[in-house]
Structure 1
Amino acid sequence: MTDATQTPNSYVVEYTDGPLVGQTDKRILVGGEYDKTFGVIALVDGIEANFEYHATGARELNGETHVTYSFDAANSDSPVSDEDGVEPGEALV
């Protein structure tokens, strides 16, 4: 049985742009705090790369913390960015 007063230990990640736009994840709170920045290793059209994301906002929804993250193209391995005309899911050449 779960105690209703138990402190949550995870939060929902919402990717607002970049190669992971529209996807969500769950991450563990560290010291009760969400990550301000983190890297995600993911495949886009068979190419593995590290994508850096930065927190842009947080809100409570149905008792869970939801944090929005924005893509940091300058600190990512991939040449994917919103400005280069490559849409998420397109081949990188």
Structure 2
Amino acid sequence: MTDSNSTEVEYLVEYVDGPLAGTTERRALIDGEVDERIASIAAVRGLESIFWYVAGDERVVDDEKVVEYRFDAGDSDPVQSDPDEESL
């Protein structure tokens, strides 16, 4: 049985910019630590893309660790749109 002082096992990822801005997800802590970089796969305009994010500010909300992640455009798949396709 665990008590309220036990080690946390997960945290909340908050995407603050980039294609996933405004979304959240839960991730497991590894040895009590958050991931410095994470990759997320998402479909944008019907194409699966890999987006890399880098850890930033951390805070505690309602006894839960929340970590802001910022978009790393240089390492991510490009997010481009074709204006001709958007009008179809």
| Corresponding residue number in structure 1 for 2:85 | none
Deviation of residue 6 (structure 1)? 2.1
| 1:41 matched residue in structure 2 | 41
Instruction: Compute the TM-score of the two structures, normalised by the length of structure 1.
Output: 0.81
The aligned counterpart of 1:26 is: 26
Q: Unmatched 5+ residue regions in structure 1?
A: 81-85, 87-91
Structure 1 segments of 4 or more deviating over 3 A?
none
RMSD of Structure 2 on Structure 1 (CA): 1.4
Amino acid at match of 1:3: D
Question: How far does residue 2 in structure 1 lie from its aligned partner after superposition?
Answer: 5.3
Aligned with 1:73: secondary structure?
coil
Q: Which has the larger radius of gyration?
A: 2
- Structure 2's unaligned 5+ residue stretches are 83-88
TM-superposed deviation, 1:5:
2.1
Paired position in structure 2 for 1:68: 68
Q: CA deviation at 1:3?
A: 2.3
> Normalising to structure 2: TM-score of the pair?
0.85
